Chain A
Amino acid sequence: MSARRRPRDPSSIAGGVAVWLCGVGVVALALWLIFLVAGAGLPDFLRTVVSPPVAAAIWRSAAIIALALPVTIAIAFFAGIAGAEPNLGGRTAAWLDTMLPYGATIPAVTIGAATSLAWLDGFSGVRDLVRSHPVLSIAAALVVLNLPRTTLRFRSILRAAGERWMTAALAAGADALFALRTATLRRAMPGLVGATSACAAQMLGETALAAIVLALATGGALTIASPAPFAVHLWMQLQDGARIGDPSVASQALLLMAAILSLRLIGELLAGRRARLAA
C-alpha cells in the first residue's frame, strides 16, 4: 500500500511541525543573543578595546595562537594524511581510527588537570619552565587539546576530497605521493583552510584549560591582574557576578564574539576562494 493510500498519521505531521519550529526557534534564539550582546557592548566598545588590560590580554591570546596553531596544524595535517590514506598510514591508521573519537571528546578541564598533575609530578626543570613561560605553557596545553579535534577534521576532509581521485590516480600508475599532492591536497585545500581557521577560533575561545595552566604557572589563585589570555581575562571578571552590569565587560564579550566570528568568516571566505581556484 502506498503512503498516499495510508491514512495520514497526525503524529508525523505534529512531529514535523515541532521539528520545523525547533529549527526556527534556534535561529530566533541565536539572533536574539547576538542582538543582546551587541546592544550591551557597542556603546563602550572602542574605549574597551584600547584599554591597556584588554589590549594586553588580546596580545597574549595572539601570541598563544601564533605559538600553538602552526604546531597543531602541522602535526594534525600529517596525522590526518596517515588516517585518510591507508597506503601511507598502515596499521597506525587503524589505531588512529580507534583512538580519535576518544581523544576528541576528552573535556578541556580534564586535559588541564592531567597536564598540570603531570607537570607537578615531573622534573623540577619542567616546573621552572612552566613558571617562567606561562604563554608557552598555555600554548603547549592548547596543542594537546586541539590535536585530536583538528586531526579528526583534517582526516574527514582528506577522505572526502580524495577517495575516488586517489584511487583513479593510483590506477593510472601514479605513486602515492604524487596522487596525494595532485589529486587529494588540491581538492582538500579549501576545507583544510577552513579547519585551520576553526582551530584558531577554538584556541582563542578556550577558557578552562588556559585558566588551569595559568594558575599552575603563576603558582596560586588567579586574579584579574594575572597575565591571562583574552577569554580567561573575560571569564575572571564574570566569575564574581558583580560586574555583569559593567558595560566594559559586555564590550569585551562582544569583542571576543566578533573576533571568533571574524576568524570563522575569514576561513570560509578563503576556503571559498581556494575552492573556485581549485575547480
Chain B
Amino acid sequence: MRSAALRFLTAIARTCAAGVALIPIAVAAALIWNLSLALGSVPAHLLTVDFFRRVAFTLEVAAGAGIVGGGAGVACAIAAQELVVAPLRGLVASAVGYFGIMPAAMYGWYALRLAGPLIARTPPSPFVVFVASVALLSLMALPTACALASRALNRVPDTVRHAAAAAGATRIQTTALVVVPALRRSMAAAAAAAVGRAAGEAAAMVVLLSVLSRASGAAHANVASWILTRATESNLASAPSDVAPSALLLVIIAAVCAWFAAREQRAMQWAEAPV
C-alpha cells in the first residue's frame, strides 16, 4: 500500500507536470482567442505588404541562420566530441556555452559595436542587412544546434568507433564515414532547431535592425522584432489584435521546428529513451 507521503508527492508532481505541459497550449490558446475576438479586422492586418515583407524577411534570415549557425553548431559539436584534443575540447565547449548564456542585450551591444563603423562609411544595401542579420542570428542559434548535435553524438556507442578503429580507420575517417552519415537526419534536426531559435529572436534584432534601417533609410524588421517594437513603443492595449497573428505565426514556426527536431532525435539510429 502506498504511503501518504508518496501519494502526496505523486499528486504534487502530476499537478506540476500538467501545469508545465499546458503552457504551450495556453500560449497558443491566448493568441487564438485574441485573434477570434477581432476576427473582422484581422484580414486587413494580415494582407498588408508590410506583413508579408516581415514574414519573408523572417523566413529568409532564419533559414540563413539555420544553414550558417546550424552548420557551425554541428561542426563545433563534431569538433568537440570527435576531433580535437582534450584541452581544446573544453575550450570549444566553453566558447559555445558563452554564446549560449550571453543575453540578447549583449548581442545587441556587439551588433552595434561591430556594425556601426561599417555602415558609417556606406549606407547598407538590402544584402548587407541580410548578411548582418544572418551573422547575428547564426551566433545566437549556434549553441542550440551544438547542444542537439552533441546529444546525438553522445548516443553513438563507443563500440562503433572501436569497430571502425579496428578496421583501420583514422579518427577523421571514423567521423566522416561512419558517425556523421549515421547521424545525418539528427544533424538536420539540429539545424531545424536553429531555424526555430533564429525566427523567434527579437531584442538583439531590434537593436541591429533599427540602426541598419536608419542608415539605409528603409524600414527592416523581422516578425519578432516588430512585435517587440510594437509592444514597447506604443500601448498594446490600444490595438492588440494586430500582434496576435504575428505572434501566432512565430508559435507555428517554433512548433514545426520543435516537432521535426523531436521526431528526428527519437528516430535516430542507436536512439535510447529520450533524455
Contact = CB atoms under 8 A, between A and B. Distances in A.
Given A114-B30, A117-B243, A103 B228 contact: no
A13 B95 contact: no
A150 B123 CA distance: 43
A229 B176 CA distance: 47
A15 B258 CA distance: 28
* Residue picked from A8, A106, A206, most chain B C-beta under 10 Å: A106
25 contacts: A24-B92, A26-B76, A27-B88, A29-B95, A29-B139, A77-B16, A78-B16, A107-B201, A109-B224, A109-B247, A110-B224, A113-B227, A113-B247, A114-B30, A117-B243, A120-B236, A121-B33, A159-B275, A205-B101, A212-B231, A222-B233, A238-B112, A241-B211, A256-B103, A261-B101
A26 B23 CA distance: 35
B23 A147 contact: yes
A96 B23 CA distance: 11
B20 A239 contact: no
A16 B203 contact: no
Lowest 3 CB-CB distances: which A-B pairs, in order? A107-B200, A205-B103, A4-B168
B21 interface: yes
Interface stretch (B5-13, B40-48, B124-132): B5-13
Contact of B200 (A93, A98, A110, A176): A110
Interface string A168-180: 0000000111001
Interface in B1-32: 2-3, 5-6, 9-10, 12-28, 30-31
A178 to B, nearest CB: 9
A88 B13 contact: yes
B24 A82 contact: no
Interface in B137-156: 139, 142
Contact-residue bracket for chain B: 35 or more
A125 interface: no
B234 interface: yes
A167 to B, nearest CB: 12
B104 to A, nearest CB: 5
A50 B6 CA distance: 50
Contacts of B84: 20, 23-24
A90 interface: yes
Nearest to B82: A19
Contact-residue bracket for chain A: 35 or more
Contacts of B254: 102, 105-107, 110
B61 interface: no
A189 interface: no
A79 interface: yes
Interface in A191-220: 198, 201-202, 204-208, 211-212, 214-216, 219-220
* Residue picked from B14, B72, B206, most chain A C-beta under 10 Å: B14
Interface stretch (A30-38, A132-140, A271-279): A30-38
Contacts, number: 353
Contact of B102 (A97, A144, A151, A260): A260
A201 B95 contact: no
Contact of A40 (B34, B113, B251): B113
B75 A22 contact: yes
A215 B232 CA distance: 5
Given A79-B17, A92-B21, A221 B255 contact: no
Contact of A175 (B6, B22, B177): B6
Contacts of A244: 109, 112-113, 116
Contacts of B26: 114
Interface string B233-257: 1111100100110110011001101
A98 to B, nearest CB: 8
Nearest to B112: A244
Contacts of B259: 101-102
Contacts of B79: 19-20, 22-24
Contacts of B14: 82, 88-90, 92
A173 to B, nearest CB: 14
A90 to B, nearest CB: 6
Contacts of B177: 3, 9, 12
A64 interface: no
Interface in A224-255: 231-232, 234-235, 238-241, 244, 249-250, 253
